[in-house]
């Protein structure tokens, strides 16, 4: 069991968003978190990320790249804690061949290999999102937590990226808005409404029609 929340609460600046939350997350689960905007999805993901700390890689909602650095450096950031300070500093000036090759392979998986040394700030929204995903893939922690990680991609690209994430990280918790994509790639569906879990069921038992009422 990775996380076991009992009666948890969370919020921003004194305003409660989640309250009285019971949730367990086991290793190997693929969870999709659904719900209207403002339901508390991002807050839940942040809460899980805090609990998992070192075991999780994060794909935040805004791509959160450093626009002035290259795509390579943004992806390399996923492993800053594994190398010495000196090596990290050297890598800023002179990227080592081994790491470049490794990062390039990860970028190829999300269709961004040809942009290796472009400035991240010059990329389009969809491209930035793929770099953000690549950073999590390169990070390679056992759990990946993603806040709408494929929102700026088309369905085909989105499906491919979700497949990569599932293959790389054993456990996934992803907030999503595309119900079809969620049912196809997650094994457990969690629906939030006004800060509470209103549905928690295996994806195999659900159809799109079962989830639509939550968006009405």
Rounded least distance, CB 61 to other proteins, Å: 9
Rounded least distance, CB 57 to other proteins, Å: 8
Q: What are phi and psi of 148, to 5 degrees?
A: 50, 60
Residues that bind other proteins (CB under 8 A): 13-14, 53-54, 57-60, 62, 64-69, 73-74, 77-82, 85, 88-89, 92, 132, 135, 139, 141
Rounded least distance, CB 75 to other proteins, Å: 11
Closer to other proteins at the Cβ: 86 or 204?
Answer: 86
Closer to other proteins at the Cβ: 51 or 196?
Answer: 51
From the list 204, 191, 188, the residue with the least C-alpha distance to 27 is 188
Closer to other proteins at the Cβ: 36 or 151?
Answer: 151
Q: Which residues of 160-171 are buried (b: 16+ CB within 10 A; e: fewer)?
A: ebbebbbebbeb
Closer to other proteins at the Cβ: 34 or 146?
Answer: 146
Rounded least distance, CB 45 to other proteins, Å: 12
Rounded least distance, CB 77 to other proteins, Å: 5
- H/E element, 14: none
Give DSSP secondary structure letters for 38-61: TSSHHHHHHHHHHHHGGGEEEE-S
Whether residue 97 contacts residue 39, with contact meaning beta carbons closer than 8 Å, is answered with: no
Closer to other proteins at the Cβ: 69 or 159?
Answer: 69
Rounded least distance, CB 205 to other proteins, Å: 34
169 dihedral zone (left: phi>0; alpha: psi -120 to 50; beta): beta
User: Cα–Cα distance between 214 and 192 in angstroms, integer?
Assistant: 9
User: Cα–Cα distance between 118 and 143 in angstroms, integer?
Assistant: 28
Closer to other proteins at the Cβ: 173 or 191?
Answer: 173
């Amino acid at each position: 069991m990775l996380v076991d929340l009992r009666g948890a609460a969370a919020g921003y600046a004194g305003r409660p968003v989640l309250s009285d939350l019971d949730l367990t997350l086991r290793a190997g689960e693929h969870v999709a978190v659904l719900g209207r905007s403002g339901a508390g999805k991002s807050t839940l993901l942040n809460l899980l990320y805090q609990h998992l700390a070192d075991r999780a890689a994060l794909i935040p909602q805004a791509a959160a790249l450093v626009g002035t650095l290259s795509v390579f450096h943004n992806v390399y950031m996923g492993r800053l804690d594994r190398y010495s300070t000196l090596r990290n500093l050297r890598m800023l000036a002179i990227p080592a061949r081994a790491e470049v090759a490794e990062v390039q392979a990860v970028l190829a998986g999300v269709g961004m290999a040809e942009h290796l040394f472009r400035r991240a700030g010059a990329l389009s929204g969809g491209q930035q999102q793929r770099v953000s995903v690549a950073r999590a893939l390169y990070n390679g922690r056992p759990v990946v937590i993603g806040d709408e990680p494929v929102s700026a991609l088309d369905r085909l690209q989105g499906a491919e990226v979700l497949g990569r994430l599932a293959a790389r990280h054993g456990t996934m918790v992803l907030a999503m808005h595309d119900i079809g994509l969620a049912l196809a790639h997650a094994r457990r569906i969690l629906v939030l409404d006004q800060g509470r879990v209103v549905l928690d069921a295996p994806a195999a038992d659900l159809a799109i029609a079962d989830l639509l009422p939550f968006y009405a």
